[in-house]
Amino acid sequence: MDFIFSLFGRFHPVLVHLPIGFLILGGILVFYAKKESKEFLPAIRISFFWGTIAALFSVVSGLLLYLREGYSFDTVSKHLILGVLTTLFSFGFYLYLKNKVDFIDSKVRGMSVGLMILLMLTGHFGGELTHGSDYFTQVLPEKFQEFFGISNASELTMISLDEEHWGEAIFYQDVIHPILSQNCNSCHNEKNKKGELVLNSPEWITKGGKNGKVLDSKVPLNSTLLARMLLPHDDKEHMPPKDKRQPSKQEIALIHKWIEAGASFEVSLAKAGVKEEMINMYFPDAKDDFYPETELAKLGENVLLPFRKSGLLIEPISQESPLLKISAINFHQGQKLNLKDFQGIASHIAYLDISGTDQDDAVWNDLVAFKNLTVLKINRVDIEGQGIEALHQLTNLKRLNLNDSDLQLSNLLALEDHPSLEGIFFYATPASKAISSDEIVRFLARLEYGGYELPVLSSDTVVY
């Protein structure tokens, strides 16, 4: 039958709502009643009586939960002590209301305010146990958090290493400090010294916490700093707490390597024996400058809606960019599409696919307005390329697709010195059949026009 106590303990999260409801109701009635009134006094006494009974059951269940579920006293102390005080205060307040009070006065209201404050603090520390200490504060704007002294954003740093000179980076300052900043400093900083341990400076780390040193370079796995991270997440000793951000396996491996190398605050990554594969995830990604940068504002959906209704597929090139991809992929072959209709949004279009639409060689002059056009696909159209030299005005154009068109070589040659074009694709065109090797080398852009032949291998002639 011993399981009954454990089961009752686990009802604690349910039972705590009863005293909260009763006591808040009593507090509301105290202030709702007119001064020196007796009107609500019986209801107020009942609220605080049952609030006290419910609080007592909550305390007993909470105590059983603490004793039988392996919580440390440090973890639950504030919530437990305040829960007992709230119960005692509520009981005392009920006795006072029952025996000495005939009407609502300032003293009753003052005691009610005190009880509400106790109840709020008890609930707050209880919430910390289930949701973490920053459950309420983490959604506040950063400036509010800094104002109330609950943010360590000024200390938060990220790892960023130079791909060419990463070996010269200081192991602690450039790698370990950012890892601790992101995962540990919310609880172990000079304002909030959990376990008397601070992890935001070499001096404090060397000093350790109330349980002693946290680093052991002779036996790295004996280092409390590392050992706590390696415990299962549901272990009560695991750090950071399971509701907090957890360091990745790579970050834990780097902490291990740092301690193993002597936990020096001056050693470089190279001298500590760090391999590139351990830190290459911190190299900044190569800047994606394929599409041009622009200060254009994003277009509203009301502007784009008429184009969408016509059947065009429209999407941004990225979440951050105002530039657009527009495709006529849903149009049927030969359907009319007038580029003059795009004049109002032309500068926002970086990717345009009008393949298969009804176009003629007047299209080149219409395209001049598309200043940020980077990719142009105009396959399967009846154009010969007369006037194509107008594309020289598109200084961001990098890829041009003219496959399966009537493109003539004489017109294509007008693009041989286009300064920004990186690739021209013109498979199955008169130009692809007529171009010579001497003409190919004159182009600054790479040409793709098909007609490739693979050498015949001896194995190709074997009959099985």
- What's the token pair of residue 209? 């916490």
Q: Are 8 and 116 found together in one domain?
A: yes
What band does 124 get if pLDDT is binned at 50, 70 and 90?
A: confident
pLDDT at 443 over 50: yes
Task: Tell me, yes or no, whether 287 lies in a domain.
Answer: no
At residue 321, the 3 state secondary structure works out as coil
pLDDT at 322 over 50: yes
Higher-scoring residue by pLDDT: 127, 21: 21
Domain boundary (131, 161, 187) is at: 131
Instruction: State the burial class of residue 281 (Cβ atoms within 10 Å of its Cβ: 0-12, 13-18, 19+).
Output: exposed
Comparing 99-108, 126-135, 442-451, the range with the smallest average pLDDT is 126-135
Q: Are 251 and 334 found together in one domain?
A: no
Rounded Cα distance, 464 and 448, in Å: 36
Alpha-carbon distances, residue 298 vs 159, 321, 323, 362 (angstroms): 32, 8, 8, 29
Higher-scoring residue by pLDDT: 453, 373: 373
Q: Are 310 and 435 found together in one domain?
A: yes
Cα angle for residues 161, 258, 191 (degrees, 5° grid): 85
What is the structure's pLDDT at 274? Answer: 92
Question: Radius of gyration over alpha carbons of the chain, in Å?
Answer: 36
Question: DSSP code of 426?
Answer: -
At residue 109, the 3 state secondary structure works out as helix
Rounded Cα distance, 426 and 406, in Å: 10
Task: Tell me, yes or no, whether 342 lies in a domain.
Answer: yes
> Residue 422 carries which side chain, given as an amino acid letter?
E
Higher-scoring residue by pLDDT: 78, 366: 366
Rounded Cα distance, 24 and 18, in Å: 10
Comparing 191-200, 247-256, 308-317, the range with the smallest average pLDDT is 191-200
Rounded Cα distance, 387 and 1, in Å: 93
Task: Tell me, yes or no, whether 139 lies in a domain.
Answer: no
Comparing 294-308, 430-444, 448-462, the range with the smallest average pLDDT is 448-462
Q: Are 327 and 426 found together in one domain?
A: yes
**From the centroid of its chain, how far is CA 247?**
15
Q: Are 267 and 375 found together in one domain?
A: no
Inter-helix orientation angle 73-99/17-32, to 10°:
40
Task: Tell me, yes or no, whether 171 lies in a domain.
Answer: yes
Q: Are 406 and 379 found together in one domain?
A: yes
Question: Span 253-279, mean pLDDT?
Answer: 92
Range of the domain at 115: 3-131
Q: Are 97 and 194 found together in one domain?
A: no
Q: Are 174 and 263 found together in one domain?
A: yes
Name every residue whose Cβ is closer than 8 Å to that of residue 338 and which is 6 or more positions away in sequence.
none
Which residue in this structure is represented by tokens 């109840």? 119
Name every residue whose Cβ is closer than 8 Å to that of residue 201 and which is 6 or more positions away in sequence.
none
What band does 430 get if pLDDT is binned at 50, 70 and 90?
A: very high
Question: Span 336-350, mean pLDDT?
Answer: 94
Q: Are 165 and 48 found together in one domain?
A: no
Q: Are 99 and 226 found together in one domain?
A: no
Task: Tell me, yes or no, whether 295 lies in a domain.
Answer: no
Query: Mind giving me the DSSP string for 140-194?
Result: S-HHHHHHTT---GGG-------TTTGGGSBHIIIIIHHHHHHHTTTTBSSSSBG
Query: Mind giving me the DSSP string for 324-372?
Result: EEEE-TTSPTT-B--GGGGTTTGGGEEEEE-TTSB--TTHHHHGGG-TT
pLDDT at 7 over 60: yes
CATH of the domain at 310: 3.80.10.10
pLDDT at 71 over 70: no
Rounded Cα distance, 319 and 315, in Å: 10
pLDDT at 427 over 60: yes
**388-395 long-range Cβ contacts below 8 angstroms, 24+ apart:** 388/361, 388/364, 388/412, 388/414, 388/415, 389/364, 389/414, 389/415, 390/364, 390/365, 391/364, 391/367, 391/415, 391/418, 392/418, 393/368, 394/367, 394/368, 394/370, 394/420, 395/419, 395/420
Q: Are 274 and 337 found together in one domain?
A: no
Tell me whether strands 446-448 and 349-353 are parallel, antiparallel or unpaired. Answer: unpaired
Rounded Cα distance, 244 and 432, in Å: 61
What is the structure's pLDDT at 131? Answer: 62
Task: Tell me, yes or no, whether 291 lies in a domain.
Answer: no
What band does 65 get if pLDDT is binned at 50, 70 and 90?
A: confident
pTM: 0.41
Question: Span 327-352, mean pLDDT?
Answer: 94
Which residue in this structure is represented by tokens 């890829």? 399
Residues linked to residue 377 through DSSP beta bridges, in sequence order: 353, 401
What is the structure's pLDDT at 270? Answer: 92
What is the structure's pLDDT at 189? Answer: 79
Tell me whether strands 313-316 and 446-448 are parallel, antiparallel or unpaired. Answer: unpaired
Question: Span 131-143, mean pLDDT?
Answer: 56
What band does 331 get if pLDDT is binned at 50, 70 and 90?
A: very high
**From the centroid of its chain, how far is CA 448?**
41
Could you give the dihedral angle defined by the CA atoms of residues 31, 34, 40 and 46, in that order, rounded to the nearest 10 degrees? 30
pLDDT at 154 over 50: no
Give the strands of the sheet with 446-448, arranged side by side.
Answer: 313-316, 324-327, 349-353, 375-377, 399-401, 423-425, 446-448
SS (H, E, C) 212-277: ECCCCCCCHHHCHHHHHHHCCCCCCCCCCCCCCCCCCHHHHHHHHHHHHCCCCCCCECCCCCCCHH
Task: Tell me, yes or no, whether 90 lies in a domain.
Answer: yes
Task: Tell me, yes or no, whether 75 lies in a domain.
Answer: yes
Domain boundary (223, 254, 282) is at: 282
Higher-scoring residue by pLDDT: 158, 160: 160
What is the structure's pLDDT at 390? Answer: 96
Average pLDDT of the chain, as a whole number: 86
**What is the number of structural domains in the chain?**
3
Q: Are 275 and 385 found together in one domain?
A: no
Residues linked to residue 326 through DSSP beta bridges, in sequence order: 314, 352
Question: Span 337-349, mean pLDDT?
Answer: 94
Question: Is-contact 336 358, C-beta < 8 A?
Answer: yes
What is the structure's pLDDT at 463? Answer: 59
Domain boundary (235, 252, 282) is at: 282
Smallest CA-to-CA distance from 427 within 400, 452, 450, 406 is with: 450
Smallest CA-to-CA distance from 42 within 86, 101, 114, 108 is with: 101
Rounded Cα distance, 189 and 177, in Å: 13
What is the structure's pLDDT at 453? Answer: 57
195-216: pLDDT as tens digits: 889 888 899 999 998 889 999 9
